[in-house]
Chains A and B, each alone.
Chain A
C-alpha cells in the first residue's frame, strides 16, 4: 500500500527543546490515523510539520511520495481542521467554505455550488448566508470540516477538532467523522489527547511522549500489548508492574502491564492483597488494592460483590494477561 505521509528520522527542535525528536512514521493511504499523547508530546508539532507550518530541523518528510521540504503550506495538497476552527470572521459561511476554491481561481457560481455540496456533506445545508459568529461550536466545527474537504485534499489533518465540544456532541461527531472518512476514502490524520477517542476512531494509533513515538499499532495492539510502561499507563491506565516484581512472579526480568479488568478477586486465587478503597463508576466498580509494594487497580463488574475497604482478599490473573514490556524496562 502506498504511504500517504512518511517521516524519516524527523526532528523539530526549538533551541534546547526537542518538540519532535528522531521520529520515523508511516501513515498509509486511506487510513484513519490518530496521533495520541499528552500535551507537549510532539503530536501537534508533527501535524504542523505535515501541514507545512513548521519545517523539520533535520530529517525527511514525504507526502504521497513527494518530498515536502521547502514546500510552503499553500502548495501542499493537505488541508487542516484547526483546533479553534479558524473560520474567517469577516466572511459568510459560504465564502469561508469557498475560500480555497476562490484562491484556486474557480468562478463564483461554480465555487458556491461546490460549497453548498460540502455544506450538505457535513449536514449544514442552507447555512451559507450566516456569519460564523452566529453558529454554535458544533456547527462551526462542521463548517471548518467542509472548508477543508471542499478542496479534495489527499490528506486531511484534524488538530483536536472535538476538544471544544460537549460529550454528547463529541460522540456524535466521532461517528460522523469515521463514516465520512470511510465514504470519502481520504487519509485522515487526527491529533488527540483523549485515548478513548483515538481507540474508537482510528485504524492505527501512534502514541507520542516527549517528542518521540512510543508505539504505533492498531487500537488492539496499543491497548492489549503496550510496548512501554508509558503506553500501558497512558492508554487506558493499565497497572505497570516493575521488573523486579515480575521476576519474582514469572522468572522474566521485564516490566509488565496488567489490565485492571484482567484482575480477578476470589477465594481460589493465589496472591494476597488488601483493599485500599473502591469507587463506583457506573457499569463497573474500580477497586484499589495494596499488593506487595505497589497499588493495583482492578475493575469489578456490576453484580459481583465488592470487598470492604481494609479486607484482605485473594487476587489472580491469567498468565497471558501479564504482558511483558521488553522496551523501556
Chain B
C-alpha cells in the first residue's frame, strides 16, 4: 500500500544506514575495547584477555597528567578569549553598520575555513619573526584563532534572531546600557555563548595540527597520544587516554546541541 511505503523505509536502505553508522562508530568502539586488553605490544584481535590494570597504570603516569593538565588549561583559556572576542565581534557585526563589515565577518570566519596546517605554519613563522618563544601561550593563541570563529558563529546567529527593538524597548522602559546588557541581551544570547564556548573547548581539547606548529617542548594530550603511538611501550595507556578524551569532548558537544536546539524561533518577534 502506498501509505505503508511512505512510512517504512525499504530493507536495503535500512542495511545501508546501519552499515554507514557501523563504519563511523565501530573503530571508536575498538579503541574502547583495547583499553581493556591484557596485551601491551601490538593490537591483536580478539584481545587475549580483559583487564582494568591500564587504568591504574595510566593514573600513575605523570606524563599523562602533565599533558591532560596542559590541555585543560589551553582549552579553558582559549575558550575564555573566544567568548570575549567572539561575542563582541558578533555584536558589532550583527547590530551596527560600518565600512568593511562584511570583510570583518569573512576575516573572522576564515581561520576555520583555512586548513589547520596553513594556520599552523603562518602562526609559527609569525611567532618566529616576532621572536616569541614557544610556550603554552603560543598554543593558546593558535587555538584561539579557530575558537573565536565558533563562538562568533553561534553568537552572530543569535544576535540576528534577536529583534533589535528589544534593546530599544529596554532603553525606552528606563534601562541604561548596562541594565539592558544584564536583563535583556545576556539572557537572550547566554545559551548561544555557552554552546559556542563548549564547542570551542571541545575543538581546542583535541586539536593536533595547529598545536604541532605552535608548541615548544610541551605536549597537549592529543600530541602526547601521537607520540605514544610510535612507541610500543604500555600501548593500552593511549587507549585509556583516548576514552577520557572522547568523554571530555563528547559531553560539551552534546550539551551545546541541547542548548541551541530550541533557539530556532526569532526572539522578540510578535508576528
Size of A's binding interface in residues, CB under 8 A: 34
Report if A137-B271 is in contact (Cβ < 8 Å); known contacts: A82-B168, A99-B173, A103-B174. yes
Bound Cα distance from A141 to B265, whole angstroms = 19
Give the distance in Å from the alpha carbon of A78 to the alpha carbon of B173 in the complex: 9
Q: Does B128 contact A (CB under 8 A)?
A: no
A79 pairs with B171, CB closer than 8 A: no
Q: How large is the interface on B (under 10, 10 to 19, 20 to 34, 35 or more residues)?
A: 20 to 34
Cα A151 to Cα B169 with chains together (Å)? 13
Q: Which residues in B have their C-beta under 8 angstroms from that of A73?
A: 168, 171-172
Cα of A147 to Cα of B190 in the assembled complex, Å? 24
Q: Indicate if the CB atoms of B270 and A164 lie closer than 8 Å.
A: yes
Proximity string of chain B (61-72) to chain A, C-beta cutoff 8 Å, 1 when within and 0 when not:
000000000000
Q: How far, in angstroms, from A7 to B184 measured CA to CA in the complex?
A: 32
On whether A84 and B165 interact (CB within 8 A), knowing A72-B171, A89-B267, A137-B271, the answer reads yes
> B172–A104 contact, CB under 8 A?
no
> B268 contacts A87, CB within 8 Å?
yes
Find residues 49-76 in chain A having any chain B CB closer than 8 Å to their own CB: 51-53, 72-75
A85 contacts partner chain B, Cβ-Cβ < 8 Å: yes
Is the beta-carbon distance between B171 and A86 smaller than 8 angstroms? Answer: no
Report the nearest B residue to A164, measured CB to CB.
Answer: B271
Q: Cα distance A87–B265 when bound, in Å?
A: 14
Contacts of B271 in A (CB 8 A): 84, 137, 164
Q: A41 to B166, alpha carbons, bound, how many Å? A: 24
Measured between beta carbons, the chain A residues less than 8 angstroms from B105 are none
A79-B172 contact given A86-B165, A90-B187, CB 8 Å threshold: yes
Which residues of chain A are within 8 angstroms of B41 by Cβ–Cβ distance? none
> Which residues of chain A have C-beta atoms less than 8 A from B183's C-beta?
99, 102-103
Q: Does B249 contact A (CB under 8 A)?
A: no
Chain B residues packing against A (C-beta within 8 Å): 163, 165-166, 168-176, 179, 183-184, 187-188, 265, 267-271
Q: List 14 A-B contacts (CB under 8 A).
A: A51-B172, A53-B172, A74-B176, A83-B165, A86-B168, A86-B169, A87-B169, A88-B184, A89-B267, A89-B268, A102-B183, A103-B175, A133-B265, A151-B173
